Amino acid sequence: MSTYRITALKMGETSVPNAEIYWMTKLTGWELLTFWAFLIQSEQHTVLLNTGFPQDYSALHKHWTTWAQSATGEEGHVPIVKEENRIVNALKSKNLAPDQIDHVLVTPLTSYATGGLDQFSKATICLSRHGWIDFHAPDPEIPQLPRHIIFPDHILQWLVSTAVSRLRLLPDEPTEVLPGITSWFCGAHHRSSMCFLVRTKQGKVALTDAIFKYGNIEEKIPLGLSESLEEQYRLYAKLQREADIVVPLYDPRIIERHPGGIIG
């Protein structure tokens, strides 16, 4: 039976309005979000969840800060990415190179998660089929993120050309990605949001971008940026039934709850 060890890798951080995190609960003030990638290792597989920001994240910087100024009248939402946060450098700190990663999981399809995909020349790239179709054939009645915020142009070109033979689109229903790793479409945050349930020695660990902070899952508060409250509450109920440990993708306290960033 395959079990995994999960290691959190910091990809960057930003401060966001509380209203972005907590739906109709905290409408003023700001909180720090930390963007994490996760190294998921067993004896057979070396897997990475998310690849961090692109080398040039100026487009995301402009998108976030312009929105924050418009929504709050305050300056903020500035992404901070240090050199050690770059995915290649973060992996190097764990004595790994990108070509040692055999699978890359991505959730959601946004440039802070997709920005380093082109560094992985040998990995199978696993994305939400739901999100991939939504990107290429969006519902014209539903507002969308700007396309270059989902995939930087060079990443999209790489995916549909160089990496297309290694692209695996994950279905909505629960699917075994690898022995001991199950995925399903959870939605709530974005049309590309997935949940990954990873078997470890300490139990099943859930990783999903549809939960920003521990307060969301522990107090059952939907995201302020939830695209579906129904999906949000169904996710909370499913995780209560199936997960032993839930890890929000953007909570700085991961490192406190799991010393050294080691989970499971």
195: domain range? 5-263
pLDDT in tens, the chain (264 residues): 789 999 999 999 999 999 999 999 999 999 999 999 999 999 999 999 999 999 999 999 999 999 999 999 999 999 999 999 999 999 999 999 999 999 999 999 999 999 999 999 999 999 999 999 999 999 999 999 999 999 999 999 999 999 999 999 999 999 999 999 999 999 999 999 999 999 999 999 999 999 999 999 999 999 999 999 999 999 999 999 999 999 999 999 999 999 999 998
- Count of domains observed in the chain: 1
Bridge partners (DSSP) of residue 197 are 182, 206
CATH number at residue 187: 3.60.15.10
Tell me whether residue 107 is exposed, middle or buried, using C-beta atoms within 10 angstroms of its C-beta: 0 to 12, 13 to 18, 19 or more. buried
CA 184 to chain centre: 14
Q: pLDDT tens across 106-119, in order?
A: 999 999 999 999 99
The 10 Å Cβ neighbour count of residue 214 is 15
Structure-block tokens of residue 231: 């999906």
Q: pLDDT tens across 179-225, in order?
A: 999 999 999 999 999 999 999 999 999 999 999 999 999 999 999 99
Structure-block tokens of residue 24: 């109709």
CA dihedral 94, 99, 101, 105 (to 10 degrees): 120
Query: What Å distances lie between residue 204 and 85, 94, 189, 240, 258, CA to CA?
Result: 27, 23, 22, 11, 15
- Please name the residues in contact with 176: beta carbons below 8 A apart, sequence gap of 6 or more: 182
